[in-house]
Chain A
Protein backbone atom coordinates (compact mmCIF):
# COMPACT_ATOMS: atom_id res chain seq x y z
CA UNK A 1 0.00 0.00 0.00
CA UNK A 2 1.40 3.25 -0.92
CA UNK A 3 0.20 6.49 0.60
CA UNK A 4 -0.09 9.39 -1.76
CA UNK A 5 0.12 12.80 -0.26
CA UNK A 6 -1.65 15.34 -2.40
CA UNK A 7 0.54 18.40 -2.59
CA UNK A 8 -2.25 20.95 -2.51
CA UNK A 9 -0.94 23.48 0.00
CA UNK A 10 0.08 26.00 -2.66
CA UNK A 11 -3.19 25.62 -4.52
CA UNK A 12 -5.21 26.05 -1.35
CA UNK A 13 -3.22 29.12 -0.39
CA UNK A 14 -3.97 30.66 -3.77
CA UNK A 15 -7.67 29.85 -3.46
CA UNK A 16 -7.94 31.30 0.08
CA UNK A 17 -5.47 34.21 0.25
CA UNK A 18 -4.79 35.63 3.76
CA UNK A 19 -6.59 39.02 4.11
CA UNK A 20 -5.16 42.16 5.83
CA UNK A 21 -6.90 42.98 9.12
CA UNK A 22 -9.44 45.80 8.76
CA UNK A 23 -8.76 48.98 10.70
CA UNK A 24 -11.63 50.03 12.97
CA UNK A 25 -9.97 53.38 13.73
CA UNK A 26 -7.85 55.61 11.50
CA UNK A 27 -5.55 58.60 12.12
CA UNK A 28 -4.61 61.24 9.57
CA UNK A 29 -2.31 64.25 10.06
CA UNK A 30 -2.36 67.24 7.73
CA UNK A 31 -0.41 69.07 6.59
CA UNK A 32 2.94 67.38 6.90
CA UNK A 33 5.41 68.51 7.88
CA UNK A 34 3.86 70.83 10.44
CA UNK A 35 4.35 73.09 12.26
CA UNK A 36 7.10 74.92 10.33
CA UNK A 37 8.80 77.40 12.65
CA UNK A 38 10.99 78.90 9.93
CA UNK A 39 14.37 80.47 10.71
CA UNK A 40 15.65 80.69 14.26
CA UNK A 41 18.96 82.21 15.35
CA UNK A 42 20.35 80.09 18.16
CA UNK A 43 20.74 81.63 21.58
CA UNK A 44 23.23 81.10 24.38
CA UNK A 45 20.70 79.15 26.42
CA UNK A 46 17.95 76.67 25.62
CA UNK A 47 14.92 78.49 24.24
CA UNK A 48 11.33 77.25 24.28
CA UNK A 49 8.60 78.29 21.87
CA UNK A 50 4.90 77.82 22.50
CA UNK A 51 2.76 77.11 19.41
CA UNK A 52 -0.94 77.74 19.96
CA UNK A 53 -3.09 74.88 18.68
CA UNK A 54 -6.01 76.92 17.35
CA UNK A 55 -4.35 79.92 15.69
CA UNK A 56 -0.68 78.91 15.40
CA UNK A 57 0.70 81.91 17.30
CA UNK A 58 4.37 81.37 18.19
CA UNK A 59 5.59 82.81 21.49
CA UNK A 60 9.08 82.50 22.92
CA UNK A 61 8.67 81.47 26.55
CA UNK A 62 12.30 81.14 27.66
CA UNK A 63 15.83 81.68 26.37
CA UNK A 64 17.34 84.26 24.03
CA UNK A 65 17.18 82.73 20.58
CA UNK A 66 15.55 84.89 17.93
CA UNK A 67 12.91 83.67 15.52
CA UNK A 68 13.54 85.51 12.25
CA UNK A 69 10.44 84.21 10.51
CA UNK A 70 7.52 86.26 11.76
CA UNK A 71 3.85 85.40 12.08
CA UNK A 72 1.74 82.43 13.02
CA UNK A 73 2.33 78.91 11.74
CA UNK A 74 -0.04 76.26 10.41
CA UNK A 75 -0.62 73.73 13.15
CA UNK A 76 -1.26 70.08 12.24
CA UNK A 77 -4.89 69.01 11.97
CA UNK A 78 -5.53 65.51 13.32
CA UNK A 79 -8.50 63.53 11.93
CA UNK A 80 -9.75 60.46 13.77
CA UNK A 81 -12.27 58.11 12.16
CA UNK A 82 -14.21 55.65 14.31
CA UNK A 83 -15.23 53.02 11.80
CA UNK A 84 -18.68 51.48 11.89
CA UNK A 85 -19.95 49.99 14.10
CA UNK A 86 -19.10 52.97 16.31
CA UNK A 87 -21.96 52.59 18.76
CA UNK A 88 -22.77 51.59 22.30
CA UNK A 89 -19.75 50.79 24.38
CA UNK A 90 -17.60 50.77 21.25
CA UNK A 91 -17.75 54.50 20.43
CA UNK A 92 -14.83 55.72 22.55
CA UNK A 93 -11.40 56.37 21.04
CA UNK A 94 -8.41 57.04 23.27
CA UNK A 95 -5.85 59.51 21.91
CA UNK A 96 -2.20 59.63 22.93
CA UNK A 97 0.29 62.16 21.53
CA UNK A 98 3.94 61.50 22.31
CA UNK A 99 7.16 63.29 21.45
CA UNK A 100 10.19 61.86 19.72
CA UNK A 101 12.36 60.34 18.59
CA UNK A 102 14.64 63.31 19.16
CA UNK A 103 17.09 64.10 16.39
CA UNK A 104 19.20 67.24 16.44
CA UNK A 105 18.82 70.07 18.91
CA UNK A 106 15.03 70.55 18.86
CA UNK A 107 12.51 68.56 20.89
CA UNK A 108 8.90 68.79 22.07
CA UNK A 109 8.23 69.17 25.77
CA UNK A 110 4.45 69.52 25.82
CA UNK A 111 1.33 69.19 23.67
CA UNK A 112 -2.11 70.75 23.67
CA UNK A 113 -5.13 70.55 21.42
CA UNK A 114 -7.94 72.83 20.35
CA UNK A 115 -10.58 73.53 17.70
CA UNK A 116 -12.24 70.15 18.29
CA UNK A 117 -15.08 69.27 15.91
CA UNK A 118 -16.92 66.06 15.03
CA UNK A 119 -19.16 64.59 12.38
CA UNK A 120 -21.87 63.92 13.43
CA UNK A 121 -21.71 66.89 15.78
CA UNK A 122 -21.88 66.28 19.50
CA UNK A 123 -18.85 64.14 20.25
CA UNK A 124 -17.22 64.98 23.58
CA UNK A 125 -13.70 64.82 24.97
CA UNK A 126 -12.39 63.95 28.40
CA UNK A 127 -8.99 63.74 30.03
CA UNK A 128 -6.00 66.07 29.79
CA UNK A 129 -5.94 69.11 27.55
CA UNK A 130 -2.16 69.47 27.72
CA UNK A 131 0.90 67.48 28.71
CA UNK A 132 3.57 65.14 27.45
CA UNK A 133 2.37 62.63 26.61
CA UNK A 134 -1.02 64.16 25.91
CA UNK A 135 -3.76 61.64 26.71
CA UNK A 136 -7.47 62.20 26.25
CA UNK A 137 -10.56 60.37 25.01
CA UNK A 138 -13.16 61.07 22.37
CA UNK A 139 -16.67 59.71 22.87
CA UNK A 140 -18.68 59.78 19.68
CA UNK A 141 -22.45 60.11 19.53
CA UNK A 142 -24.80 57.20 19.13
CA UNK A 143 -26.06 56.20 15.71
CA UNK A 144 -24.72 54.21 12.85
CA UNK A 145 -22.01 54.73 10.28
CA UNK A 146 -18.44 55.96 10.45
CA UNK A 147 -17.79 58.95 12.73
CA UNK A 148 -15.08 61.57 12.44
CA UNK A 149 -13.40 63.92 14.90
CA UNK A 150 -10.84 66.61 14.07
CA UNK A 151 -8.65 68.73 16.31
CA UNK A 152 -5.65 71.04 15.94
CA UNK A 153 -2.44 70.13 17.72
CA UNK A 154 -0.28 72.69 19.49
CA UNK A 155 3.00 72.11 21.26
CA UNK A 156 5.96 73.61 23.09
CA UNK A 157 9.27 73.09 21.29
CA UNK A 158 12.72 73.52 22.83
CA UNK A 159 15.79 74.60 20.88
CA UNK A 160 19.06 73.72 22.60
CA UNK A 161 21.87 76.27 22.84
CA UNK A 162 24.38 73.93 21.25
CA UNK A 163 24.28 71.52 18.34
CA UNK A 164 24.22 71.48 14.57
CA UNK A 165 22.77 74.36 12.60
CA UNK A 166 20.79 74.21 9.38
CA UNK A 167 17.54 72.36 8.70
CA UNK A 168 16.13 70.43 11.66
CA UNK A 169 13.02 68.50 12.65
CA UNK A 170 11.10 67.60 15.81
CA UNK A 171 8.98 64.41 15.67
CA UNK A 172 5.75 63.39 17.34
CA UNK A 173 3.34 60.43 17.17
CA UNK A 174 -0.46 60.47 17.36
CA UNK A 175 -1.96 57.12 18.43
CA UNK A 176 -5.66 56.25 18.44
CA UNK A 177 -6.96 53.19 20.30
CA UNK A 178 -10.40 51.69 20.53
CA UNK A 179 -10.56 49.66 23.76
Chain B
Protein backbone atom coordinates (compact mmCIF):
# COMPACT_ATOMS: atom_id res chain seq x y z
CA UNK B 1 0.00 0.00 0.00
CA UNK B 2 1.27 3.45 -0.85
CA UNK B 3 1.91 5.61 2.15
CA UNK B 4 -0.27 8.67 2.14
CA UNK B 5 0.98 12.08 3.12
CA UNK B 6 -1.36 14.08 5.25
CA UNK B 7 -0.96 17.81 5.29
CA UNK B 8 -2.51 19.49 8.24
CA UNK B 9 -3.34 23.18 7.97
CA UNK B 10 -4.40 24.86 11.15
CA UNK B 11 -6.08 28.25 11.43
CA UNK B 12 -4.57 28.46 14.90
CA UNK B 13 -1.02 28.20 13.60
CA UNK B 14 -1.63 30.98 11.14
CA UNK B 15 -3.24 33.35 13.52
CA UNK B 16 -1.45 32.70 16.80
CA UNK B 17 1.49 34.92 15.95
CA UNK B 18 -0.81 37.77 15.03
CA UNK B 19 -2.73 37.35 18.27
CA UNK B 20 0.48 37.27 20.32
CA UNK B 21 1.77 40.39 18.60
CA UNK B 22 -1.53 42.10 19.14
CA UNK B 23 -1.45 41.32 22.85
CA UNK B 24 2.08 42.73 23.19
CA UNK B 25 1.07 45.85 21.31
CA UNK B 26 -1.64 46.49 23.89
CA UNK B 27 0.97 46.17 26.66
CA UNK B 28 -0.48 42.99 28.05
CA UNK B 29 1.74 40.07 28.97
CA UNK B 30 1.00 37.42 26.32
CA UNK B 31 2.07 34.63 28.63
CA UNK B 32 -0.58 35.67 31.08
CA UNK B 33 -3.61 35.97 28.84
CA UNK B 34 -2.86 34.22 25.56
CA UNK B 35 -4.42 30.94 26.58
CA UNK B 36 -7.53 32.56 27.99
CA UNK B 37 -7.90 34.89 25.05
CA UNK B 38 -7.70 32.16 22.44
CA UNK B 39 -10.27 30.15 24.39
CA UNK B 40 -12.64 33.10 24.32
CA UNK B 41 -12.05 33.81 20.62
CA UNK B 42 -12.74 30.24 19.70
CA UNK B 43 -15.97 30.23 21.67
CA UNK B 44 -17.53 33.49 20.61
CA UNK B 45 -17.04 33.08 16.87
CA UNK B 46 -20.06 30.76 16.99
CA UNK B 47 -21.35 30.79 20.55
CA UNK B 48 -24.41 28.72 21.23
CA UNK B 49 -26.22 28.27 24.49
CA UNK B 50 -29.18 25.88 24.68
CA UNK B 51 -29.42 25.92 20.89
CA UNK B 52 -29.55 29.69 20.71
CA UNK B 53 -26.78 31.68 19.00
CA UNK B 54 -25.39 34.41 21.20
CA UNK B 55 -23.08 37.31 20.43
CA UNK B 56 -21.47 38.25 23.73
CA UNK B 57 -19.08 41.18 23.62
CA UNK B 58 -16.04 41.01 25.87
CA UNK B 59 -13.72 43.56 27.40
CA UNK B 60 -10.39 42.41 28.82
CA UNK B 61 -8.62 45.11 30.80
CA UNK B 62 -6.16 45.54 33.60
CA UNK B 63 -8.04 48.44 35.15
CA UNK B 64 -11.82 48.58 34.84
CA UNK B 65 -12.07 51.72 37.01
CA UNK B 66 -10.09 53.79 34.51
CA UNK B 67 -12.22 52.54 31.62
CA UNK B 68 -15.37 53.43 33.56
CA UNK B 69 -14.15 57.00 33.93
CA UNK B 70 -14.00 57.57 30.20
CA UNK B 71 -17.25 55.86 29.30
CA UNK B 72 -20.18 58.21 29.87
CA UNK B 73 -23.34 56.85 31.51
CA UNK B 74 -21.70 53.56 32.40
CA UNK B 75 -23.08 51.27 35.02
CA UNK B 76 -21.64 47.96 36.02
CA UNK B 77 -21.44 45.27 38.64
CA UNK B 78 -18.74 42.88 39.66
CA UNK B 79 -19.71 39.24 39.87
CA UNK B 80 -16.66 37.61 41.45
CA UNK B 81 -12.89 37.45 41.68
CA UNK B 82 -11.09 34.20 40.91
CA UNK B 83 -7.51 33.01 40.89
CA UNK B 84 -5.66 32.62 37.65
CA UNK B 85 -5.67 28.91 37.09
CA UNK B 86 -5.89 28.04 33.38
CA UNK B 87 -9.37 27.80 31.96
CA UNK B 88 -11.05 30.51 33.99
CA UNK B 89 -11.70 32.68 30.90
CA UNK B 90 -13.78 29.94 29.35
CA UNK B 91 -15.64 29.26 32.58
CA UNK B 92 -16.40 32.92 33.12
CA UNK B 93 -17.67 33.20 29.56
CA UNK B 94 -20.01 30.27 30.12
CA UNK B 95 -21.38 31.90 33.28
CA UNK B 96 -21.90 35.30 31.69
CA UNK B 97 -22.64 34.87 27.98
CA UNK B 98 -26.44 34.61 28.34
CA UNK B 99 -26.37 37.86 30.33
CA UNK B 100 -24.42 39.79 27.72
CA UNK B 101 -27.44 40.98 25.75
CA UNK B 102 -29.18 44.35 25.38
CA UNK B 103 -25.97 46.29 25.55
CA UNK B 104 -24.30 44.46 28.46
CA UNK B 105 -20.65 43.57 27.94
CA UNK B 106 -18.67 41.01 29.93
CA UNK B 107 -15.54 42.46 31.47
CA UNK B 108 -12.47 40.63 32.72
CA UNK B 109 -10.17 42.65 34.92
CA UNK B 110 -6.80 40.92 34.76
CA UNK B 111 -4.73 41.47 37.89
CA UNK B 112 -1.39 40.11 39.03
CA UNK B 113 -2.73 36.85 40.41
CA UNK B 114 -6.48 37.04 40.01
CA UNK B 115 -9.20 37.94 37.56
CA UNK B 116 -12.27 39.81 38.58
CA UNK B 117 -15.23 39.76 36.23
CA UNK B 118 -18.62 41.30 35.83
CA UNK B 119 -20.88 43.11 33.43
CA UNK B 120 -20.79 46.68 32.18
CA UNK B 121 -23.16 48.72 30.05
CA UNK B 122 -23.99 52.26 29.03
CA UNK B 123 -27.48 51.75 27.64
CA UNK B 124 -29.59 54.48 29.15
CA UNK B 125 -32.04 54.91 26.27
CA UNK B 126 -32.67 53.82 22.69
CA UNK B 127 -30.37 56.33 21.09
CA UNK B 128 -27.53 57.19 23.44
CA UNK B 129 -23.93 56.36 22.64
CA UNK B 130 -23.68 52.71 23.62
CA UNK B 131 -20.78 51.15 25.48
CA UNK B 132 -19.79 49.43 22.25
CA UNK B 133 -19.62 52.69 20.32
CA UNK B 134 -17.71 54.45 23.06
CA UNK B 135 -15.13 51.74 23.68
CA UNK B 136 -14.39 51.53 19.97
CA UNK B 137 -13.42 55.19 19.96
CA UNK B 138 -11.17 55.22 23.06
CA UNK B 139 -7.52 55.94 22.36
CA UNK B 140 -4.33 55.88 24.41
CA UNK B 141 -4.34 59.66 24.92
CA UNK B 142 -7.71 59.42 26.68
CA UNK B 143 -6.51 56.53 28.83
CA UNK B 144 -3.51 58.55 29.91
CA UNK B 145 -5.73 61.51 30.73
CA UNK B 146 -7.98 59.30 32.84
CA UNK B 147 -5.07 58.05 34.91
CA UNK B 148 -5.17 60.74 37.55
CA UNK B 149 -5.31 60.11 41.24
CA UNK B 150 -8.84 59.61 42.29
CA UNK B 151 -9.65 61.57 45.43
CA UNK B 152 -13.22 60.67 45.18
CA UNK B 153 -13.58 57.00 45.72
CA UNK B 154 -16.29 55.99 48.10
CA UNK B 155 -14.40 52.84 48.81
CA UNK B 156 -10.78 52.02 49.41
CA UNK B 157 -9.04 51.40 46.11
CA UNK B 158 -6.91 48.32 46.38
CA UNK B 159 -4.20 49.18 43.93
CA UNK B 160 -1.71 46.60 45.25
CA UNK B 161 -3.09 43.89 43.02
CA UNK B 162 -3.50 46.04 39.92
CA UNK B 163 -1.08 46.14 37.02
CA UNK B 164 0.31 49.44 35.86
CA UNK B 165 -0.63 51.37 32.70
CA UNK B 166 -4.27 50.84 31.84
CA UNK B 167 -4.91 48.92 28.65
CA UNK B 168 -7.69 46.86 27.15
CA UNK B 169 -8.79 44.49 24.40
CA UNK B 170 -12.41 44.63 23.28
CA UNK B 171 -13.77 41.66 21.34
CA UNK B 172 -16.92 41.44 19.31
CA UNK B 173 -18.36 39.13 16.70
CA UNK B 174 -19.09 41.24 13.63
CA UNK B 175 -20.74 38.45 11.65
CA UNK B 176 -19.51 36.21 8.84
CA UNK B 177 -17.45 34.28 11.41
CA UNK B 178 -15.32 37.36 11.91
CA UNK B 179 -14.09 38.75 15.19
CA UNK B 180 -12.95 42.30 15.77
CA UNK B 181 -10.34 42.85 18.47
CA UNK B 182 -9.98 46.50 19.32
CA UNK B 183 -7.08 47.38 21.57
CA UNK B 184 -5.69 50.49 23.11
CA UNK B 185 -3.28 51.04 20.26
CA UNK B 186 -4.72 49.27 17.24
CA UNK B 187 -7.21 46.69 16.02
CA UNK B 188 -7.11 43.17 14.64
CA UNK B 189 -9.70 41.34 12.58
CA UNK B 190 -9.77 37.55 12.75
CA UNK B 191 -11.70 35.66 10.08
CA UNK B 192 -12.65 32.11 10.79
CA UNK B 193 -13.98 31.62 7.28
CA UNK B 194 -12.62 30.40 3.98
CA UNK B 195 -14.89 32.74 2.03
CA UNK B 196 -13.57 36.08 0.95
CA UNK B 197 -15.88 38.45 2.62
CA UNK B 198 -15.84 42.18 2.91
CA UNK B 199 -17.13 42.87 6.34
CA UNK B 200 -17.87 46.49 6.75
CA UNK B 201 -20.75 48.78 7.50
CA UNK B 202 -20.78 50.53 4.15
CA UNK B 203 -24.09 49.14 2.89
CA UNK B 204 -25.71 49.45 6.28
CA UNK B 205 -24.67 53.09 6.50
CA UNK B 206 -26.12 53.73 3.08
CA UNK B 207 -29.39 52.22 4.25
CA UNK B 208 -29.41 54.54 7.26
CA UNK B 209 -28.69 57.55 5.09
CA UNK B 210 -31.56 56.67 2.81
CA UNK B 211 -33.95 56.15 5.69
CA UNK B 212 -33.10 59.55 7.11
CA UNK B 213 -32.78 61.45 3.86
CA UNK B 214 -35.74 63.72 4.51
CA UNK B 215 -34.88 64.41 8.13
CA UNK B 216 -33.35 67.76 9.01
CA UNK B 217 -29.80 67.79 10.36
CA UNK B 218 -29.49 68.20 14.09
CA UNK B 219 -29.57 66.31 17.36
CA UNK B 220 -32.92 64.73 16.51
CA UNK B 221 -31.42 63.19 13.39
CA UNK B 222 -28.39 61.92 15.32
CA UNK B 223 -30.71 60.30 17.85
CA UNK B 224 -32.75 58.76 15.09
CA UNK B 225 -29.67 57.34 13.41
CA UNK B 226 -28.47 55.76 16.65
CA UNK B 227 -31.94 54.38 17.27
CA UNK B 228 -31.96 52.61 13.93
CA UNK B 229 -28.35 51.49 14.29
CA UNK B 230 -29.09 49.81 17.60
CA UNK B 231 -32.43 48.36 16.62
CA UNK B 232 -31.31 46.96 13.29
CA UNK B 233 -28.02 45.62 14.70
CA UNK B 234 -29.91 43.79 17.42
CA UNK B 235 -32.39 42.46 14.87
CA UNK B 236 -29.69 41.24 12.46
CA UNK B 237 -28.06 39.28 15.25
CA UNK B 238 -30.52 36.44 15.00
CA UNK B 239 -29.09 35.74 11.58
CA UNK B 240 -32.12 34.59 9.55
CA UNK B 241 -31.59 37.21 6.86
CA UNK B 242 -33.48 40.45 6.26
CA UNK B 243 -34.98 42.53 3.49
CA UNK B 244 -35.72 46.23 3.86
CA UNK B 245 -37.21 48.58 1.29
CA UNK B 246 -37.84 52.31 1.17
CA UNK B 247 -41.00 53.20 -0.68
CA UNK B 248 -42.34 56.64 -1.66
CA UNK B 249 -46.15 56.66 -1.63
CA UNK B 250 -46.33 60.16 -3.08
CA UNK B 251 -44.54 58.92 -6.18
CA UNK B 252 -45.71 55.32 -6.58
CA UNK B 253 -49.15 55.32 -5.04
CA UNK B 254 -50.44 53.87 -1.82
CA UNK B 255 -48.68 50.75 -0.65
CA UNK B 256 -52.03 49.05 -0.11
CA UNK B 257 -52.81 49.42 -3.80
CA UNK B 258 -49.67 47.49 -4.68
CA UNK B 259 -50.93 44.28 -3.09
CA UNK B 260 -51.76 42.08 -6.03
CA UNK B 261 -49.64 44.21 -8.36
CA UNK B 262 -46.08 44.63 -7.15
CA UNK B 263 -46.57 42.34 -4.17
CA UNK B 264 -48.32 39.02 -3.88
CA UNK B 265 -48.95 39.67 -0.20
CA UNK B 266 -48.04 42.00 2.61
CA UNK B 267 -49.24 43.56 5.83
CA UNK B 268 -49.83 47.29 5.53
CA UNK B 269 -50.09 49.06 8.87
CA UNK B 270 -53.29 51.05 9.08
CA UNK B 271 -51.25 53.77 10.72
CA UNK B 272 -47.58 54.00 9.96
CA UNK B 273 -45.22 54.01 12.95
CA UNK B 274 -43.42 57.36 13.09
CA UNK B 275 -40.37 56.69 15.26
CA UNK B 276 -38.94 60.08 14.52
CA UNK B 277 -41.89 61.92 16.02
CA UNK B 278 -41.45 59.98 19.26
CA UNK B 279 -37.78 60.93 19.40
CA UNK B 280 -38.58 64.54 18.60
CA UNK B 281 -41.23 64.59 21.32
CA UNK B 282 -38.74 63.24 23.82
CA UNK B 283 -36.18 65.89 22.92
CA UNK B 284 -38.76 68.64 23.32
CA UNK B 285 -39.94 67.29 26.67
CA UNK B 286 -36.33 66.81 27.73
CA UNK B 287 -35.93 70.56 28.00
CA UNK B 288 -39.14 71.18 29.88
CA UNK B 289 -39.71 70.95 33.58
CA UNK B 290 -42.73 69.19 34.98
CA UNK B 291 -42.98 66.62 32.21
CA UNK B 292 -40.81 63.91 33.65
CA UNK B 293 -43.68 61.40 33.51
CA UNK B 294 -44.16 62.12 29.85
CA UNK B 295 -40.44 61.90 29.19
CA UNK B 296 -40.31 58.49 30.80
CA UNK B 297 -43.37 57.39 28.89
CA UNK B 298 -41.73 58.54 25.68
CA UNK B 299 -38.61 56.55 26.38
CA UNK B 300 -40.47 53.42 27.33
CA UNK B 301 -42.69 53.85 24.31
CA UNK B 302 -39.63 54.05 22.10
CA UNK B 303 -38.17 50.96 23.73
CA UNK B 304 -41.38 49.03 23.15
CA UNK B 305 -41.50 50.12 19.53
CA UNK B 306 -37.87 49.12 19.11
CA UNK B 307 -38.77 45.59 20.24
CA UNK B 308 -41.66 45.26 17.84
CA UNK B 309 -39.60 46.76 15.02
CA UNK B 310 -36.96 44.10 15.55
CA UNK B 311 -39.63 41.47 15.34
CA UNK B 312 -41.03 42.88 12.08
CA UNK B 313 -37.62 43.19 10.44
CA UNK B 314 -37.00 39.54 11.24
CA UNK B 315 -40.26 38.45 9.69
CA UNK B 316 -40.15 36.70 6.35
CA UNK B 317 -40.44 39.04 3.45
CA UNK B 318 -39.71 42.73 3.07
CA UNK B 319 -40.16 45.39 5.75
CA UNK B 320 -41.07 48.69 4.14
CA UNK B 321 -40.27 52.22 5.34
CA UNK B 322 -40.93 55.65 3.91
CA UNK B 323 -38.36 58.40 3.39
CA UNK B 324 -38.87 59.75 6.91
CA UNK B 325 -37.96 56.43 8.47
CA UNK B 326 -41.57 55.56 9.37
CA UNK B 327 -42.57 51.92 9.10
CA UNK B 328 -45.36 51.36 6.55
CA UNK B 329 -45.66 47.60 6.69
CA UNK B 330 -43.93 44.22 6.84
CA UNK B 331 -44.09 40.65 5.59
CA UNK B 332 -44.27 41.76 1.95
CA UNK B 333 -43.58 39.30 -0.84
CA UNK B 334 -42.62 40.78 -4.16
CA UNK B 335 -43.74 39.16 -7.39
CA UNK B 336 -40.58 38.06 -9.16
CA UNK B 337 -40.14 39.06 -12.78
CA UNK B 338 -40.20 36.25 -15.33
CA UNK B 339 -36.83 37.29 -16.67
CA UNK B 340 -35.25 36.77 -13.30
CA UNK B 341 -32.52 34.29 -13.85
CA UNK B 342 -30.39 35.24 -10.85
CA UNK B 343 -28.99 32.58 -8.65
CA UNK B 344 -29.26 32.55 -4.92
CA UNK B 345 -31.88 31.95 -2.31
CA UNK B 346 -35.38 33.38 -2.20
CA UNK B 347 -34.30 36.50 -0.36
CA UNK B 348 -31.57 37.21 -2.83
CA UNK B 349 -33.99 36.81 -5.73
CA UNK B 350 -36.52 39.03 -4.00
CA UNK B 351 -33.84 41.69 -3.57
CA UNK B 352 -33.05 41.58 -7.27
CA UNK B 353 -36.75 41.90 -8.09
CA UNK B 354 -36.98 44.92 -5.81
CA UNK B 355 -34.17 46.61 -7.70
CA UNK B 356 -35.50 45.72 -11.14
CA UNK B 357 -39.00 46.96 -10.33
CA UNK B 358 -37.75 50.56 -9.96
CA UNK B 359 -40.53 51.04 -7.43
CA UNK B 360 -38.25 51.31 -4.41
CA UNK B 361 -36.17 54.37 -3.54
CA UNK B 362 -33.64 52.04 -1.94
CA UNK B 363 -33.31 48.44 -0.80
CA UNK B 364 -31.15 46.48 1.62
CA UNK B 365 -30.54 42.77 1.89
CA UNK B 366 -28.77 40.96 4.73
CA UNK B 367 -28.09 37.30 4.12
CA UNK B 368 -28.01 34.50 6.64
CA UNK B 369 -24.25 34.26 6.45
CA UNK B 370 -23.90 37.97 7.14
CA UNK B 371 -23.25 39.42 3.69
CA UNK B 372 -25.24 42.43 2.70
CA UNK B 373 -26.21 44.36 -0.42
CA UNK B 374 -27.73 47.75 -1.06
CA UNK B 375 -29.22 49.58 -4.03
CA UNK B 376 -30.47 53.09 -4.51
CA UNK B 377 -32.73 54.29 -7.30
Q: Do A and B come from one complex?
A: no
The chain A residues found within 8 Å of chain B, CB to CB, are none
